[in-house]
Amino acid sequence: MNIDQKIQELNQRKDEIQLGGGVARIEKQHEGGSLTARERLNVLLDQDSFQETGLFARHRGTLFGMAEKEMHADGVVTGAGSVNSRLVHIACQDFTVGGGSVGEIHSAKIVQMMQSSLKTGSPFIMINDSGGARIQEGIDSLSGYGKVFYNNVMLSGVVPQISLICGPCAGGAAYSPALTDFIIQTKSARIFITGPSVIKAVTGEEVSSEDLGGPAAQMNISGVVHFIAEDDMDAIAICKRLLSFLPSNNLEDPPRKEAEETILPDKQLNEIVPVDPKQSYDVRDVIGHVVDHADFMEVQAFFASNIVIGFARLQGRSVGIVANQPCVMAGVLDINASDKAARFIRFCNAFNIPLLTFVDVPGFLPGVEQEYGGIIRHGAKMLFAYSAATVPKITVIMRKAYGGAYLAMCCKDLDADRVISWPTAEIAVMGAEGAVDVIFRNEIKKAEDPVLRRQELITEYRDTFSTPYVSASRLHVDDIIEPADTRRYLALALDILHSKREFRPQKKHGLIPL
């Protein structure tokens, strides 16, 4: 056989392998509204940038009919490419090949890409579309999962990890996405540990696959998913947008876009937040007026909606935003909101993304359910996350900032670099009404007109303690500004704090509350 024949044989082998499970299975994938593994990569990666590795990988199974079973690329496409000219490493499961089942070599290919991400300091992207463990390989399949989980942890905080759930992701496979930084799930995809049939057999509960593992359940209820996509194309678009805010690794700053030459006051900001502390508004309107081009990428929009988190840019710099949401539960902090915010703060700190915090919080949610659920330890996560964060931290107190929730929203005493206040701010242990009812209970009872006296005391308390001027006089607030000047103030503060360096006590690590 001469060289031309060998090259022809090579090309024939490549063409066959790249067809995955064959034309019939590809058509079936399309009929279900999904792209194939290679089609997904073609959409995600820059043209002609993909360099595949492990194309000729083959399983070593011999039991239960596996010896003669050909599984092209062992059901997963792996390699490196670029997204908007930035290097990424990627693994994309191929459902047309054995249902994308995970075996020893399949996992080894994924692990190889994860380790390459570490070596090159580039994000790792995993596109999940698998029926689960390859049962025929037994313990080798489980060992493969274990290696993937271990490397997820090794990558954590070093390079960004993004999981796309574009098909089934069941059993142990679900733990790998859970160990990554962000999960994007399409509406037709399903993710769960135990499926409906197992749940029914063990507990007798009946639940549909969608109600159990659909994106609405895993976003709204469990908080596992960070973004919901209409389909594969939308999931990829979300992934690309998310990457645009992130650095390639923890040693780099996030990419910066061109900044505006001048920033003019935005008088509309003066009107968005009502002076009446009981009147609600949507904090996303405030964010939209502060960030560049009103471009805010909200994360976990439908989970714990009483707090808003997400990415934006200010004068071209990537920033992470944490904000109370007064139009949902009055913006109160509860268990889920605390967990949601704390995790996001930790991510931003790991990847050098400055934190902007917008405060309008009446307190922590009271109630037996919250206490029994551990609001103390969950709320402590926010205190821990903000205190441990060494990136620039800037806090804007818009209106209410009461009690322990004021502290948890990155006050000066948690080492915030700048705390600014609007003139509408009320900073106190509690609201004036509650404070008066505690402090002056007896005086109000004895008054000739209790209602009038109570109102007088409320006004006196608010004027004495609930204004930002008291806090500013004690340096708990650095400046009180007109809302219209917020964008300009924050942009200048970020420029000043960009070179911030922190010197902390040497230790192995702190112990975050569980």
Read off the pLDDT of residues 353-370 as tens digits, 9 standing for 90 and up. Answer: 999 999 999 999 999 999
CA 69 to CA 59: how far, in whole Å? Answer: 9
Give me the pLDDT at residue 62, please.
62
Percent of the chain whose pLDDT exceeds 70: 99
Pick the CATH number of 269-429+467-497 from 3.90.930.60, 3.40.50.150, 3.30.1700.10, 3.90.226.10: 3.90.226.10
What length is written for the chain? 514
Q: pLDDT confidence of 58, banded at 50, 70, 90?
A: confident
Which of 117-131, 230-244, 446-460 has the weakest average pLDDT? 446-460
Q: Which amino acid is at 343?
A: R
> Cα 46 to the chain's mean position, in Å?
25
Higher-pLDDT residue of 18 and 326 is 326
Check 91, 173, 174, 405 and give the catalytic one: 405
pLDDT class of 67 with cuts at 50, 70, 90: low
Arithmetic mean of pLDDT, 265-293:
95
CATH topology of domain 3-245: 2-enoyl-CoA Hydratase; Chain A, domain 1 (3.90.226)
Going through 273-367 in order, the beta strands assigned E by DSSP cover 297-299, 307-314, 317-324, 355-361
Alpha-helix residue ranges (DSSP H) falling in 247-334: 269-272, 283-290
Active site residue 172: yes
Q: Is the pLDDT of residue 235 over 80?
A: yes
- Our answer to whether residue 32 is catalytic in this structure is no
Question: How far is residue 380's CA from residue 378's CA, in Å, rounded to a whole number?
Answer: 5
User: So what's the pLDDT on residue 98?
Assistant: 84
Stretch (H or E) spanning 396: strand 393-402
Tell me the C-alpha distance between 137 and 339, whole Å.
38
Instruction: Tell me if 138 sits within 8 A of 104, measured CB to CB.
Output: no
- Report domain extents, the chain: 3-245, 269-429+467-497, 432-465
CA distance 275 to 268: 14
pLDDT at 443: 80
For the cut 80, the answer to whether the pLDDT of residue 135 exceeds it is no
Catalytic: which of 373, 374, 404, 434?
Answer: 404
For residue 162, give the H/E element and its range.
strand 161-165
- The predicted model gives 178-183 an average pLDDT of 97
* pLDDT at residue 212 is higher than 90: yes
Mean per-residue pLDDT over the chain, rounded: 92
Kindly name the residue from 172, 195, 316, 374 that is annotated as catalytic. 172
Residue 194 has pLDDT above 90, yes or no: no
What number of helices (H) and strands (E) belong to the chain? 21, 17
Q: Looking at residue 20, what is its pLDDT? A: 83
Mean pLDDT, range 67-85, rounded to an integer: 88
Q: What pLDDT band is residue 178 in, cutting at 50, 70 and 90?
A: very high
Which entry of 103, 171, 214, 331 is annotated as an active-site residue? 171
**Residue 466: what pLDDT?**
72
Pairwise pLDDT comparison (278 vs 92), residue with the higher score: 92
Task: Quote the pLDDT of residue 65.
Answer: 64
Please determine whether the domains at 3-245 and 269-429+467-497 fall in the same fold group of CATH: yes
The whole-number pLDDT of residue 19 equals: 85
Is residue 103 very low, low, confident or very high in pLDDT (cuts 50, 70, 90)?
confident
